[in-house]
Structure 1
Amino acid sequence: MKPYPNYKDSGIEWIGKVPKHWKVRKLSYQFSVNTGFTPSTSNNEYYENGTNDWITISDLNEKYVSESSTKLTDLAVEGKEIIPKGSLLYSFKLSVGKMAFAKKNIYTNEAIFAIYPDKNINLNYYYYLLGSILIHNSNKNIYGANILNQELIRASKLVVPKSEEQTQIANYLDHKTALIDKLIAKKEQLIQLLEEEKTAVINQAVTKGLDPTVKMKDSGIDWLGKIPEHWDNHRIDWIAKLIRGNTGLKKDELLNEGEYVALQYGKTYKVNEVNDTFNYYVNSEYYKQNQVVNYGDTIFISTSETIEDLGHSCYYNRKDLGLIGGEQILLKPDNRFIFNKYLFYYSKNIGKVLQKYAKGLKVLRFKIDDLKKISIPLPPIEEQKKIVNYIDYEMSRIRNLKKLYKKEIKLLREYKTTLISEVVTGKVDVREKV
């Protein structure tokens, strides 16, 4: 893409030169900034059975927004100015720079400002421009996060081409960003397919083995079906020692260094493997002999607020000792019968079964006795090791592909950001591209 033929200094340090025929104006000169409100959260009459959409930052996830996660009652919005359909919304507190167009009349909280639609303003152009420019007018708080206020917003300088050119720029960026977003969506879909493949690989290997020609027999387990004829079938408590975690590990007491790896519930319930990158520790005051976790042990999450996370398991892949916290169950494999990592891989099959035993309303849990009575199909030890080697290889292949796709997504997003910035600041001329 070629640059414009003539440039001038914009007076904006980070932008530098802009096309000679563009104007530079304060945001407050171009349009008004309208912020929202938050009714008292202690008054249920403002929220209970509300029907009015009240947009917060968490609702700004796409280019257009119409539904809010929280709704307000008529009492809460009485006397408040409604934000009309077509308005451009911008978050300027906490998560600075999230944007969307209102697809219908809505209200917002005070962390969002709105620019109302106006026949003299091309809001689609300003969607791209503000998304690229305003962040440069922000300050940093003590934590290094970007912050804006109404004064900074109104004082922000904008680069403004003529109306026709604004439309050309917006149309060009609509087209180009849609193509980029489509590529990103395809990469994200590939990552999701890899997750499904990972589950399928483990399930097939630990229930059917690696030899597709082997004779099969009925497992005697309804949800499992047939297993290789030469495999045994044993309850988990026959091939592993089960221990309920009850060490009182609190997340605000965890250390960056210590004598024992601290397997606190909040730090393990999303982790598949506890390895040397897991840096949470406690010292000897928490030590309990029957709560020690050794290399090759498997940990089950026995409590969760969501059914999907109940029965999640992780593998302890460290040589130093760990201590298991509450809301977890520790499995110590008997190496005479089961290879440690084979037990872990098979545990990925058990989660769905344990979810059937879930009890509770707000918090779901299963009992250690529910886990004890689950049966596990058991190949000979040497075959278990071959299965583990095969799964390890496949997991590594899938992991590397996911890294590749995530890197490509990151590069595409960076390219999209750079493209928008180059176009809305006049570094490239796209008028003939539309």
Structure 2
Amino acid sequence: MSDFQIETVSDFQVEARSDSQVKCIGISELDLYPEYKNSGVEWIGEIPKEWDTVRIKWLSPVKRGASPRPIDNPIYFDDDGDFSWVRIADVTSSERYLEETTQKLSKLGSSLSVKQYPGDFFVSIAGSVGKPIITKIKCCIHDGFVWFPYLKLNSEYLYYIFTSGEPYKGLGKLGTQLNLNTETVGNISIPLPPDEYEINEIVVFLDRETSRIDTLIEKKQRFIELLKEKRSALISHAVTKGLDPDVSMTNSGIEWVGKIPIGWHITKLKYLVNLRNEKTNNVINYSTKIALENIESFTGKLLNSYSDFEGDGTIIKEGDVLFNKLRPYLCKAVIAPSEGVAVGELLVFRIQETLLESKFLLYRILTHEFISLVDGATYGTKMPRASWEFIKNIEIPVPSLPEQQAIASYLDRETAQIDTLIEKIKQSIEHLKEYRTALISGAVTGKIDVRGTVCE
């Protein structure tokens, strides 16, 4: 008797529907200001009559950070130093606040850089270009950041303006394509409510509402991870224990496999598949070219069959199972949809059709147990890879061909439903992210009136 109960996707759909909801206010539920005027700034549009617009440089000069040179000199660093050293990676990995970095500067190092104190606001102009951050620690910034020495405006409000990405319209796309410097940042115009109290109300409103949205996104992301775990467990169980919960089991004699149904047999992979190694240097002549980037991890899905790879390839035919041998990508495997060529580090397995179903093998080699086994035998330092000599001697449990086909059909159906549910949740998350951006933009430009909502 199996101790694993096969749960269908309907069980998870019920869980998804019953997942506790986080109430987020809708933009349509909020009032508008009584009267608007043209701001004269494209990204801002109309603003409330009492508001104004102001260039950043009118609020404070815009300055660049500075680095001690040469930066790799150890005299500039001290693990017990008072000021943390901010790298682009530290800001990229942070959300709104910078709370820690991996290095600290010595007294000499910090004297040659630009010091920032808790509450200070600065913006990246290199790497994650345009990313704003508020520091909660004493730190020093290099010339990949700009800062605002005389800024008196609420830094939280300024953070929301910049994190929307709207001020960068016309300057490029938020990220590495933006071209920012002290002049372009200084010339950015921002909307300005008439008093500090209203600014604070906007910040408090956005803190509350974005927190609710972020909580809901986090719950959905956790549910996606749960679905992926259940998908993996479903596959692993089906290809090892079968579909009949009442079948008698016997010890397989293989530690990573455990018990298998009576009637199944243990066979080395080399007796079920042949490794194909028919090379061609004319990959351009094939309409189907499959490389690592074409394969989705863990799902066995072919994202597309185009690659601009121009080196040698291995000829494949429909039904061949392709398995990547590089350690970081062992979770990439797929069935060839047609004749073509596999390029890069893909092993091509041609199955013995009287013994093995391609889809059954695909599900087997995508289990965490199989991948972990192969991973433990990879060799090399810079880019470890698996060898066919090891893989061909892996013993796997194999049922009769009709049972393989039944298992494959069952898993096709169940994983398709789980994948559909995951995709719907991902779309929901994207909609929430879009709504979050729209809410921030609406609040900081006065398109919605959030006054009086902070006590609700």
Answering whether residue 180 of structure 2 is matched by residue 157 of structure 1, we say: no
Distance 2:77 2:231 in 1: 43
Distance across 2 between alignment mates of 1:384 and 1:99:
54
Q: 1:222 to 1:103 in 2, by over 3 A?
A: same
Pick aligned residue for 1:32 from 45, 55, 61: 61
- Specify the alignment match of 2:203 in structure 1: 170
Partner of 2:130: 97
SS at match of 2:114: coil
Q: Letter of the aligned partner of 1:320 in structure 2?
A: E
Q: CA RMSD in A?
A: 3.2
Give 5+ residue unaligned stretches, structure 2: 1-29
How many Å separate the matches in 1 of 2:242 and 2:165? Answer: 57
Mapping of residues 69-88 of structure 1, within 5 Å: 77-88=110-121
AA matched with 1:159 = P
Once the two structures are superposed, the pairs formed by residues 27-426 of structure 1 within 5 Å of their partners are 27-37=56-66, 43=72, 45=74, 52-56=84-88, 59-60=91-92, 61-68=94-101, 77-93=110-126, 95-115=128-148, 120-132=152-164, 135-140=167-172, 145-161=177-193, 162-243=195-276, 258-259=285-286, 261-264=288-291, 270=297, 272-273=299-300, 275=302, 277-280=304-307, 286=312, 291-304=314-327, 306=328, 309=329, 311-325=330-344, 327-349=345-367, 350-426=370-446
Superposed displacement of residue 192, structure 1: 1.0
Map Cα deviations across residues 112-156 of structure 1 (whole Å, 9 max, x no partner). Answer: 2234686x4311111112334653454249x99443332121112
- In structure 1, the gaps of 5 or more residues are none
Q: Post-superposition shift, 1:333?
A: 1.2
Q: What is the letter of the counterpart of residue 25 of structure 1?
A: V
Which digits, 9 at most, give the CA deviation of each residue in 1:251-306, with x for residues without a partner? xxx86xx42644445655848546472211668x846xxx32222222222233x4
Between the two proteins, the alignment pairs up a number of residues equal to 417
1:5 to 34, 37, 58: 34
Partners of 1:338 and 1:360 in 2: CA distance: 32
Contact 1:56/1:109 (CA < 8 Å) preserved in 2?
Answer: no
Are the equivalent residues in 2 in contact too, given 1:3–1:429 (CA < 8 A)? yes
Give the secondary structure class of the aligned counterpart of 2:422.
helix
TM-score (norm 1): 0.85
Q: Which amino acid aligns with 2:315?
A: V
Query: Which amino acid counterpart does residue 401 of structure 1 have in structure 2?
Result: L
- Is the Cα contact below 8 Å between 2:130 and 2:178 reproduced in 1? no
Q: Identity over aligned residues, as a percent?
A: 29
Aligned residue for 2:432, secondary structure, equals helix
Relative to structure 1, the CA distance from residue 422 to residue 313 in structure 2 (aligned partners, 3 Å threshold; closer, same or farther) is: closer
Paired letter, 1:301: N
Change in Cα spacing, 1:123 to 1:144, as seen in structure 2 (3 Å) is: closer
What are the superposed Cα offsets for residues 299-353 of structure 1, whole Å, 9 maximum, x if unpaired?
Answer: 222233x4xx3x334113311222343x433222111111111111111231111
- State the shift of 1:236 in Å: 0.6
Quickly say closer, same or farther: Cα 1:177–1:245, change in 2 above 3 A. farther
